[in-house]
Every structure is written in C-alpha cells, then in structure tokens.
Structure 1
Amino acid sequence: MKDELLEEFLRLSKSSIKAMEFKDKTVARVNKDMLIEARELLKENNKVYTLGVKNTEQIERSHIKKLTESKRYLWHTIDGMSDGGRAIDINIINPITGRNMTGSSSCSAVNVLYGINDIGIGTDGGGSVLAPALSLNLYSIMAKGLGLKGLSNRISTDGISFVPGIGVISHSLDLAEAAVVKMSGLMQDNNYEALKVAICTKENIKLPDGSDMREKLNLVYNRLIDFGVEIVEEEFPNFNSREEAINRTQELFKKYEILITYEGPVDLLGFGDSVFGGFGKLAAESQQSSGKYMAKIANMVNATAITIPSSDISSGIVVTAREGIREGIGAISLAKKLSNLYKLPDLYYRYFRDSYKRKESDIIFSVKGV
C-alpha cells in the first residue's frame, strides 16, 4: 500500500509540474493547492483523478462540484480553448501529427494526452469534444443526449443554432463513463441488447485515405454479432453538408437508436473548419477531407456519442445514440464491448500518458556530470 501511495503521489506531482510547463499554452490556470488536496484525499483512497475544465461559462460549476465532492477527483487546471470556438486551433499543434490541433476543446484533450489530467471536461457544438479526442486517439463521451448541456445557445461557424453538449475526454472509457454518471446523477449500467444498431453500406462513404468506411467497420460488426447485437446496413448521410447530414441522421434515428461510424484521420489530410473551407474550391475540398462525420453533428441532433480510438493515427469508432437516457446509457454499455478492439502502440503511452516516469537527466542535476 505504501508503494502504491508513493507512486500515485509521484504521478500527481509530476503532472503538476507538467501543468506549470504548459501554462499559457494549453493551460490557462493551475490549481496550486492540488497537491495539498491530494495529500488529504490519499489518506482515504489510494487512487485519485485529476481533472481539467475548459475555460467557458457554458459549463455549470455544479457539475464540477459533484465530481470534487465525491473525494475521488481533484480540480487541477482551467484549460484554454480555440480562438472563437473554431473547429481547428491555430495556436496549438497536435503532438502526434504535427498539424493544427482540432476543436475548441483542444487544450483539454492535449492535457489529457500528456497525463496532466486524467479527465478533461469540455463542451461540444459541432464536434469540439469528439473530434479532438479522435485526433489524439483518446476516448470521449459527449453526453448531451443524457441531459448534460451548456447554458445558452450558440451559432456555429456555418450558421447553425445549437446548445453545446458537455463531454469528457480520457485515456480510459471507464473513467469517462464514471465522470458522466457522477455529473448527470444517472445509473451506470443499462441493457444495450434491445437497441437497434445501424452502420453504413459498402461504398457509401470513402474516408480521406481512400478506404471504405464499411470495410473499416468489419471488426466492429463481427464483435457485435458475437455479442448477439443485430446490425442493419443503411445509407448514411452525405456529411459534406452538415444541414443535409443532420436531416438524414434524424430520419435514421426514427428507425434505429444507435448509429456507428469509423472516422479519421481527423484533420490530417484536410482541415474540417468552416472558416478555412469558405475560401474557394481547394479549401472546400480540403475541408471535406477532414475525416469528421457523425462527430461534427452528434451534438446538433442532441445525441450521446462515444469515441473509441483505433490503432490508426487520429482515427476511431464513433458510437452515436439518439436523445434519451435509455439510448445514451445503452450506447455507453455497447461502446465498452468495443473498447478493447484495438491496441495502441506502447510508445504512445510511454511518450505521453506515462511520461512522468521518465527522468529528464539535465546535465546540471546529473550525478555523472558532477
């Protein structure tokens, strides 16, 4: 037990140092008392979780209070957000791809990637939680369909009115689920078996790398069939027009509770940003190669959506459920059956989440250098 507590305090201490290093980059403010609070919580638990919160008035403080009052979560950072809520963040580079970071919750996602926080709480208008998570091969749950939403209407860059959904980004789907359950006050488990599921047909959607989305969903299809889930193939929307995609998705939700897509690589071969896409044919074609599909409309159809990272760069599964408690919790339960379908490289975890274990070996502090 003593070794476990020492390891946990080491992890928290190094995450605090990293947060200070990222100050004014992805971190707007650091809770300097986090380690003092951690010491108290570790007297009762051998594991606690740090959280970052996107710097927006849309997130009610009561949601964060529900987490911190459980004595398992520590507020650690206030996270930055993209300028004007844009779908790409011109100030932050994706640490994996080297391209501009995705979505207005970009900073929360990067802080989770590096292990600064175990969970990031963000808002999603047109993919601002789901897409950053996909771009960094992280799990996320956007829980608007479960009632977790912002405080006021916004207008998207392409002129669509919406209320933001609130979501959680994490290296762990279980951690993301636990945070959503705690904030929403809902029961954790629900039966997904009676829910109707649809995926796209073959040659329906071509991904930016030229592959067929339906082919990419073969592993998902086979896994769910093994679990006794009935899956129907349907013609999915033309996602190049967000308005058309919203209308078609609403039609599909009249027949099915859950839609599953394979998305990505996100913002690697093109930028899915309406500001950028408005500058002529070349920019529009690039925007259509962003690899974002249900991720960019899930909030606008009041859905619950979950991202599951795949082993391909900046890519993964999106499980989207129509609005409703039964549907949303059922979708999370179904997503958990898929959560171990892919394996990310060990180096991904060593370089990012577990980087606190590395010694910097600066020459001035090196014994060998003395």
Structure 2
Amino acid sequence: MTSPSFPLGLVREDLRDFAGYSSARTSHSGAPARIWLNANEAAAPNRADPQGRNRRYPSPQPAALVRALAALYGADPAGLVVGRGSDEAIDLLVRTLCRPGGDGVVVTSPTFGMYAVSARLHGVPVHDVPQSDLGRTWRLDPERIVEEVRRTGSRIVFLASPGNPTGATVEPATLLALTDTLADQAVVVVDEAYQEFGVGGSLVGRVAAHPTLAVLRTLSKAHGLAGARVGTVLTHPELAAVLRRVQAPYPMPEPVVSLALAALEPVAQEETRHRVATTVRERARLAGLLAEHPGVRAVYDSRANFVLARCQDAGTVDDVLTDLSGRGIVVRDMRHLPGLEDALRVTVGTPSELDEVAGALAAGPAFTTTER
C-alpha cells in the first residue's frame, strides 16, 4: 500500500523550492575522491588531533549515525534528521513551517519553554491552551486545541508525552486523532524526550501513516549524553528533506558522532536499560520523600526522570529552596511557569544523591535550579 504524502502546502511558500547550502561534503559526484581540495580545510592536522580525525568537515547527516538512530527508534532513515539536541529540531520545524511574523504555534502550558522561545525568536505568535490540573496528573483539552489552531491559523502544535514539567503522558489515540483532525492545517509535534522512562510505546512507528506527525527524540536523558547534544526529529521523508535543506551546514561534529555511535553499541544500550530501570525505581522513592514533607501539598504521578511537586504556597517554596541549596542540593524552581506559582521539579538522581535529599528533607524544609 502506498504511504500518504506530506502536504507540502504546509511548508513556508518561500522554502518549498529552497535548495539550501551546498556543502563541500555533499556537492562532489563522479569518480571516487582521493584528494579533497574543495573545502579550504587545513592541509595538515592540528597537534591536538594528530591523527587528523577532525581536520575535515563532517557529513551533514552522518550515515552511520542515521542508521544507528533509525535502528534504535525503529524508524525509516529517510524520515530522520539528526541535529544539535531537540532544541535544533524545534527551531527547524518553526523555521520551516511558520512565516516570520505570521502563522503561529500552539502550546499547552505548563510545558517545555523552548517551543515558545523558538517561535518568538522567529516572530511567530504563540497561543496557549492550558492543561487541566487533576491533582495527581494533567490533561490536555483536544477540542480547545483544535479550536485554537483553527482560530489562529497556526501551523504547529507542540505536545510532550511524557510532559515536562508535568511528567504526564497523553494517550497515543488522542495524539493521532489530533494529528488527523488538523492534517489540512498543522503539523503535530510530539516531544518524546522522556519516552524511555514511561509506559507504552513511541509514536515513531505511526509516522508513515500520519504524514503530518513529527516525533522528537534525544540522547540527552536516558542515554546520559546531554553534553553531546544529539537530538532527532522523525517524520515524513518529504518534510525531513525540507528540514535538511533548512538546517545549517555540518550540524554534527565528528567527536559527537563518535560518542553517539559508541553509546548505541549493544553493551552501552544494555547499561542504558539498567540506568533507566534504576531511575524508575528511585523515582517512586523520590515521590514518597516529597509527599511526606509537611511543606508539600501535592506530588504528581510521573513517567519521566523527575517529579513535580506543589508546596503549600510560594513562600514555602522559598523555604525549601533555601534549605536544600544550603546543603548543596539544587532543584528546579517552576514558579515562572503559568499555573505553577507554588511548584518545584526534582530530577531523579543516584541512590546516594537521593539519600542526601532524604536527609535534608527530614532535617527541615528543603530544596535552587536544574535545566530540562
């Protein structure tokens, strides 16, 4: 059966035929190259790199890494674009689909701040459809999301499952129904940065049947490579081809590629699975520690590698931050986000780190700030 096509009318009109930058690494054709003199690279290695592994520009989309990531996620390599973390993928999608000063993106607060940051940096309006706080979890309002997309002419809906900072998941059927309902107008982007810590499967396998669905994945969380900045967008091959043309040249440094490939070797992946299992176990412990603290009034169920908690009031947050930071323990103050004026987010650390958190909480009010 023929897969459905991506509606290229959703791409910015001025980018539909955009060829992008023709890099020295991709413009060669003909006989196999022996001597590369087309990129103005240094003729000899730097002493810091005596083997010359980094003397030449890397491939824009390193084939070995693309194959390894496609195998990891069960994806079509033609629909995979790898870049500098999920942040670059978010930026590429906004640039590709939204006209500067026009169109729009829809977000569902509380959610990851980079969706709105990327949109605003490109002059794209941001429209919020807040989630409902159900006490221990959060829920989207699909009908209102559809209404807001229609009302504003938005081109992207950013949804995260599991969510950050909520830790809540969204039913795949809900996400796919939204994608299909909005297929004539918008791309639905599902951020699965924390998917390894959750329950249920990824939506990557549904991309072929839903051409206006894009899924974000990263090696920053479960794989422990936040400092390497390796993120992936998985989508329809026709949209992926446009994203590659819009992407800046040489996004993947050679040392990063080597590190990522090593992290995807079978032994390393087995260690990742063990690390995830430990994190899930300690997540339950952390949630219990927070729930027992007198300054905490609510702890949310989490399917990520963190726990979101509400304190009695904003002043209690200050007390907890002060006490924990005084012991050198740094967590995330979430009061800057709409609807979270009394909230903290705590990443699941190692068992020994959580021992220290337990000691600090038991000694008195406890908890200053960690990034996504």
* Fold agreement, TM-score > 0.5: no
Report the structure, 1 or 2, having the larger strand content: 1
- Using the size of structure 2 for normalisation, the TM-score is 0.30
- Using the size of structure 1 for normalisation, the TM-score is 0.31
Q: Please say which structure displays the higher CA radius of gyration.
A: 2
